[in-house]
Amino acid sequence: MIVAQQKPLEEIRRLIAPYEKILILGCGTCVTVCGAGGEREVSFLHGALRVAQVKGGDGVHAFLEYTVKRQCDREFLDPLGDRVSEVDAILSLGCGVGVQVVAERFPDVPALPGVNTSFMGATEQGGVWDERCAACGDCRLAETAGICPITRCTKGILNGPCAGTKNGKCEANKDIDCAWVLIYKRLESLGQLDKIRRYYPPRNFRTIPRPRRLAGITSIDLGGSNG
Ligand code: SF4
Ligand code: SF4
């Protein structure tokens, strides 16, 4: 899932300063799970902004709050129409994708980001997420035993380990396991060590075309013919 963190209150206050009526818009999916921008966080932020307004002499703001199921899907934004017509700005607690879809759907109202989108990660323990995927567009997990070298190796190298690995730890950070030692061990246990002996040519990430668009798969060609 996408992992994000709410921006510091001071930064949010600066962002909303020019506007009078603000809709604080939560998202009910990833940012709810990581505790950055769901219904609960919308309510907490609303309260914190009101207190800051009273204490800090901020300009007078009026706030509305609402949380949609997903900000990154336009259809979930439809019920917002009337609310948006009442406000001067939308403070989105969705990820960067959500903010952009909100901005496109409501072009006449500024959409402001209330969270910093950090990475795509897996839950390690309550409140802790580890980055697992950088959406590189050419997944290599089949060759690396399901362990991503791009996000989990500090150098993101495709032919590891580098010369710095020691006792299974990364030379750049001795608190983390060397991703390539993990890859080696898992390939070994799967009987696939031949994969680590292959050379994988460097990738040119600049060649990934931007912007990227992906059509969902609607049918699968299994090849051949029946009968
Ligand atoms: S190789 Fe890593 S960064 Fe690329 S798509 Fe696969 S998991 Fe994501
Ligand atoms: S020690 Fe391992 S994880 Fe660290 S940079 Fe080298 S190969 Fe990557």
- Concatenated DSSP letters of 20-58: SEEEEEEESSHHHHTTSSSHHHHHHHHHHHHHHHHHHTP
pLDDT at 59 over 50: yes
The pLDDT value recorded for residue 227 is 34
Same domain membership, residue 178 and residue 103: no
Residues 16 and 114 both lie in one domain: yes
Statement to judge: residues 188 and 79 lie in one domain: no
Does the residue 68 lie in any domain?
yes
Asked if 114 and 139 sit in the same domain, the reply is no
Residues 108, 201, single domain; the answer is no
The verdict on 84 and 176 lying in the same domain is no
Domain membership flag for residue 36? yes
Both tokens assigned to 62: 């009026």
Q: What is the mean pLDDT of residues 12-21?
A: 96
pLDDT bin (cut points 50, 70, 90) of residue 193 is very high
Which ligand is nearest the CA of 146, by number?
1
Give the distance (Å) from ligand 1 centre to CA of residue 110.
33
pLDDT at 65 over 50: yes
CB atoms closer than 10 angstroms to residue 72: 20
Q: Which residue, chain included where needed, has tokens 């939560």?
A: 26
Question: Are both 7 and 99 inside the same structural domain?
Answer: yes
Counted domains in the chain:
2
Q: Kindly state whether residue 224 falls inside one of the protein's structural domains.
A: no
Tokens 């009273």 belong to residue:
54
Q: Is the bond preceding residue 211 a cis peptide, omega within 30 degrees?
A: yes
Say which residue, 219 or 145, is predicted with more confidence: 145
pLDDT of residue 219: 62
Whose CA is closest to 63, among 41, 39, 42? 42
- Distance from C-alpha of 117 to C-alpha of 7, rounded to nearest angstrom: 10
Contacts (Cβ under 8 Å, ≥6 apart) of 48: 9
Say what the pLDDT of residue 225 is. 44
| Arithmetic mean of pLDDT, 49-61 | 84
Predicted pLDDT of residue 215: 72
**Full-model pTM:** 0.84
For residues 33 and 93, state if they share a domain: yes
By alpha-carbon position, which residue is closest to atom 2 of ligand 1? 148
Residue 83 predicted with pLDDT over 70 = yes
User: What's the CATH number where 22 sits?
Assistant: 3.40.50
Same domain, 65 and 89: yes
| Residue 226 confidence (pLDDT) | 41
Q: Is the CB of 178 under 6 A from ligand 2?
A: yes
CA separation for the pair 161, 153 (Å, rounded): 9
Q: Tell me, yes or no, whether 7 and 115 share the same domain.
A: yes
In percent, how much of the chain has pLDDT > 70? 93
In a domain, 217, yes or no: no
Structure tokens at 158: 């495709």
- Please tell me if the CB atom of residue 120 comes closer than 6 angstroms to any atom of ligand 1: no
Backbone phi, psi, residue 209, to 5°: -65, 140
Higher pLDDT, 59 or 94: 94
Q: Which of 119, 139, 180, 208 to mutate to test the pocket of ligand 1 (most atoms within 8 A of CB)?
A: 139
- Quick check: helix, strand or coil at residue 206? helix
Domain that holds residue 114: 2-119
Residue ending a domain, choose from 69, 92, 119:
119
Give distance in angstroms: CA of 116 to centre of ligand 2.
27
Pick from 133, 182, 205 the residue to mutate for probing ligand 1's pocket: most ligand atoms within 8 Å of its CB: 133
Q: Are residues 64 and 166 in the same domain?
A: no
CB atoms within 10 A of CB 224: 5
Q: Does residue 223 lie within any of the structural domains?
A: no
> Does the C-beta of 122 come closer than 6 Å to ligand 1?
no
Q: Is 45 contained in some domain?
A: yes
Torsional sign, CA 166, 168, 173, 179: positive
Residue 163 CA: nearest ligand 2 atom is: 6
Length of the chain in terms of residues written: 227
What confidence category does residue 126 fall into, taking pLDDT thresholds of 50, 70 and 90?
A: confident
Give the C-alpha separation, 3 to 119, whole Å: 5
Which residue's CA is minimally distant from atom 8 of ligand 1? 133
pLDDT mean over 15-42: 96
**Separation between Cα atoms, residue 16 and residue 111, nearest integer Å:** 10
Single out the residue of 163, 164, 131, 167 nearest to residue 149, CA to CA: 131
Do residue 165 and residue 74 come from a single domain? no
